[in-house]
Structure 1
């Protein structure tokens, strides 16, 4: 089983390092080895011994060198002949997963790619995070039941608070992400609710951190000129750093509707965004209610095998758990189609209705669904709250004790912040 570690980008690392979120290859490898021991101890692998290996990528991630990723996949396949591959923090590099699927290798990663991509590559492509199609449906359900047709009362600008809401949608300019934005746009302009007056056409930006601020300046200028009162960013977790800075520079203080995607509701990342903007952020959050490290699955798995978790492997544990489940559910005959049959036969796990536990995310697969997360909490950013994750100031606060809502089940009523 191969973990792909992308080539480091100094600008990305510098931003993440401000919150202690950039980890060394050695720390990640140590975490992976610890979790491998846990899965070997508790999962049924039918007398197989899984070898968990990793490779450092050589392709630029921002802007993504897409042809390079295809070449890299072929090289890694020739070297390792893996049964499965995962990349824990990919947001735009669809070519990487497409190439593995062409080679008949099970692969996991690609946050919030449109479900059409996942289904086209079945039974090979999977991901931990909610796909982009369901994410768009979830946002539309929240918008239509709570926000559409009402004034933008949660904006930072008093003039916008007295203005009827108009939604702006921002995402990366890649087919697997553009389709999500278009789906949402269609749903809120008549497909589910509203009309063409309720949203501006989606704005697409390149994934190029070297030009991130310049790109954000242009995007914000366009959104502001369109009369947008409420912005939803369906992107990677770095984008809001530039977009919120641009908004403040242009004295534009809209509502920030959380997409729930891209780890947008993770406390340390929220501190990267302009505080005069982010105090007006609220909406769906895909992550579980924050908890101290010792209450996370990764920490408890490490403790189970006598190791203190080093904090570098939260995402790694999530993806290893998915891959380990694939091997277990495939049964004695380990083939991609048996992985699909096994994973789709799993009953739903967790979720608010079954557990009443804010730390329990609903995980579910089924025909046409190749991603795990199926619900979200109702949350907002509080710049004064102390995070349960690291004790620092600035955290997301959930309503109703962290209650989670499945897609299509948001209650009607006013949004909260």
Structure 2
């Protein structure tokens, strides 16, 4: 591997840039960095309410054999449990030894039987007897906000890459998922404005709903809720329409809005628990200088404007007080990371004078470049605690922070260690099926989790497809458990979070920064410095964080990645081969 790495330039090197105009909203784009192998396996419950409210949504099945399926729908596990496997055709897409789809993608999914009979035809707008019409929203070419962010993390795309990637993954999933006599017709739509342009977003949504009339849309402008609002008002379902919605946003638009990343409220539930159980009332073991081993005084630095209001942050502070009898020593907000060159000095000077030993950071990936540099100039070496601000927790960004400071960085994250060669990932899946990397590389893979949520629910919904059925399927489906290389996935009222859950991811793991280790960045380039995932990437749901000290900065138990699938992940059989496509019949090791 190459020992070099392409790293982002610092703020000072950029000069005037998009972030100077859009400032803290770049923090919202943290969700774009989570290229997760999220596969939603869903089995619907027959008779689930057709108009479930957010407060009465079903709690979900315990497993895949304990549910009543609608006519025309059958899973391998349930047929096996009933002793009726011989009555169904699961096709060559299914591995009969495992009962899962023969797709090298972690985690693996149960097989659904091939459908025969009448699928009901036009069950809802955008659905016919032959197709399900889905719009793939494509970002405006040359969008300056996205170009800035992609440039920072080394993602490069060419015109048409995203459209080709959507088409390719639609082809793969179309060969393996069951759509009950229908095919998903994926229709590209290119945005007429940037991801913050609410006027263009509204017009685009109206055009899609009026002229294309799809069943669903995937993706949307990530810095405006106008697109999602308009799509929902037209009764069209959308997965990944926006990253700015919190819990109430999704509930108010039930059953049309769905996502992958945790909402800010959900993230901060886990962060509050982590702080309350593992950090408060303990010495600052990993601070530097005179702060080391002092009783912890914890402060918060958070970006303004990352949500429509500050309710999630206020709730976070209240949770610390109510559940852990814990109070933050200082709270500072910022609205422009470029201004931290001046405001950050006063901020950190106040922290140092107050004896703050530990800083929790919730914000964009640019601000720590300035904050850590200033802290070192002030000879101030606190602990830095992560919070699920995903881009901050990418190797490619963390290498640009002052390493004397970042050597003290640790905390919770939604990310997970990668497997060498992309095994079990969307990149690996594309290479297995097509023999080449996906168009646009990692940047275009941002679409894959949204596709998987959509297609998984379509498969579980059966022939009688409607937005309400889509919702009922996700809310009633079994929880998809986590592994070290994939997060847990669930929807609905599972008791993990205080409100009904319309987004996929549930859990977090613990990380700590190793400034000396050689590790791969998010573009697959090896360089110096990387996050170590504690205890081999063990993941925790709300209520599960241990109440002992963090297990951080330990090269023996903290992994930067895996050379092969870890023992606790499902093994991918070496004899699986694509049932169609350019590499039809060729196994993982085949040429």
Q: Which residue of 2 aligns with 1:34?
A: 168
Q: Which residue of 2 aligns with 1:277?
A: 405
Among 466, 489, 510, the alignment partner of 1:363 is 489
Q: Which residue of 2 aligns with 1:350?
A: 481
Q: Which residue of 2 aligns with 1:354?
A: none
Q: Which residue of 2 aligns with 1:408?
A: 543
Asked if residue 256 in structure 1 is aligned to residue 384 in structure 2, the reply is yes
Equivalent residue runs for 1:34-113 within 5 Å: 34-61=168-195, 64-87=196-219, 90=222, 92-109=223-240, 110-111=242-243, 113=245
Q: Which residue of 2 aligns with 1:208?
A: none
SS of aligned partner of 2:183: coil
Structure 2 unaligned blocks of 5 or more: 1-133, 494-499, 554-591
Q: Which residue of 1 aligns with 2:585?
A: none
Deviations 1:245-294 (A, max 9, x none): 56556665432211124344333333343434322221112122222242
Deviations 1:218-258 (A, max 9, x none): 36634652545433333344554455456556665432211
Summarize the Cα distance change of 1:49–1:202 in structure 2 as closer, same or farther, 3 Å threshold: farther
Output the CA distance in 2 between the equivalents of 1:11 and 1:106: 26
Among 121, 140, 149, the alignment partner of 2:272 is 140
Q: Which residue of 1 aligns with 2:65?
A: none
Among 179, 193, 200, the alignment partner of 2:311 is 179
- Give the alignment's TM-score, normalised by structure 1: 0.85
Q: Which residue of 2 aligns with 1:314?
A: 445
Q: How far is the alpha carbon of 1:396 from its aligned partner? A: 0.9
The question of whether the paired residues in 2 share the 8 Å contact of 1:217 and 1:243 is answered with: no
Q: How far is the alpha carbon of 1:136 from its aligned partner? A: 0.8
The question of whether the paired residues in 1 share the 8 Å contact of 2:224 and 2:244 is answered with: no
Asked if residue 150 in structure 1 is aligned to residue 307 in structure 2, the reply is no
Output the CA distance in 1 between the equivalents of 2:160 and 2:480: 33
Output the CA distance in 1 between the equivalents of 2:338 and 2:372: 10
Output the CA distance in 1 between the equivalents of 2:239 and 2:370: 28
The question of whether the paired residues in 2 share the 8 Å contact of 1:256 and 1:278 is answered with: yes
Q: Which residue of 1 aligns with 2:43?
A: none
SS of aligned partner of 1:392: strand
SS of aligned partner of 1:128: coil
* Larger fraction in helix: 1
- Give the alignment's TM-score, normalised by structure 2: 0.62
Asked if residue 118 in structure 1 is aligned to residue 250 in structure 2, the reply is yes
Q: Which residue of 2 aligns with 1:6?
A: 139
The question of whether the paired residues in 2 share the 8 Å contact of 1:235 and 1:262 is answered with: no
Output the CA distance in 2 between the equivalents of 1:224 and 1:78: 56
The question of whether the paired residues in 2 share the 8 Å contact of 1:117 and 1:176 is answered with: no
Output the CA distance in 2 between the equivalents of 1:246 and 1:81: 53
Output the CA distance in 2 between the equivalents of 1:6 and 1:219: 34
Q: How far is the alpha carbon of 1:202 from its aligned partner? A: 5.7
Output the CA distance in 2 between the equivalents of 1:96 and 1:169: 30
Among 449, 463, 473, the alignment partner of 1:332 is 463
Q: How far is the alpha carbon of 1:307 from its aligned partner? A: 3.4
Further displaced range: 357-366 or 263-272: 263-272
Output the CA distance in 1 between the equivalents of 2:202 and 2:144: 23
Output the CA distance in 2 between the equivalents of 1:261 and 1:84: 29
The question of whether the paired residues in 2 share the 8 Å contact of 1:178 and 1:204 is answered with: no
SS of aligned partner of 1:301: helix
SS of aligned partner of 2:509: strand
- Give 1 or 2 for the bigger CA radius of gyration: 2
Asked if residue 233 in structure 1 is aligned to residue 361 in structure 2, the reply is yes
Output the CA distance in 2 between the equivalents of 1:260 and 1:342: 28
Further displaced range: 318-327 or 108-117: 108-117
Q: How far is the alpha carbon of 1:111 from its aligned partner? A: 3.6
Output the CA distance in 1 between the equivalents of 2:211 and 2:290: 60
The question of whether the paired residues in 2 share the 8 Å contact of 1:145 and 1:410 is answered with: yes
Asked if residue 214 in structure 1 is aligned to residue 348 in structure 2, the reply is no
Asked if residue 266 in structure 1 is aligned to residue 394 in structure 2, the reply is yes
Output the CA distance in 2 between the equivalents of 1:32 and 1:130: 23
Instruction: Report the number of matched residues.
Output: 402
SS of aligned partner of 1:145: helix
Output the CA distance in 2 between the equivalents of 1:380 and 1:403: 13
Output the CA distance in 1 between the equivalents of 2:364 and 2:249: 18
Output the CA distance in 2 between the equivalents of 1:331 and 1:321: 16
Among 526, 549, 560, the alignment partner of 1:391 is 526
Superposition RMSD on alpha carbons, in Å? Answer: 2.9
Q: How far is the alpha carbon of 1:334 from its aligned partner? A: 2.0
SS of aligned partner of 1:396: strand
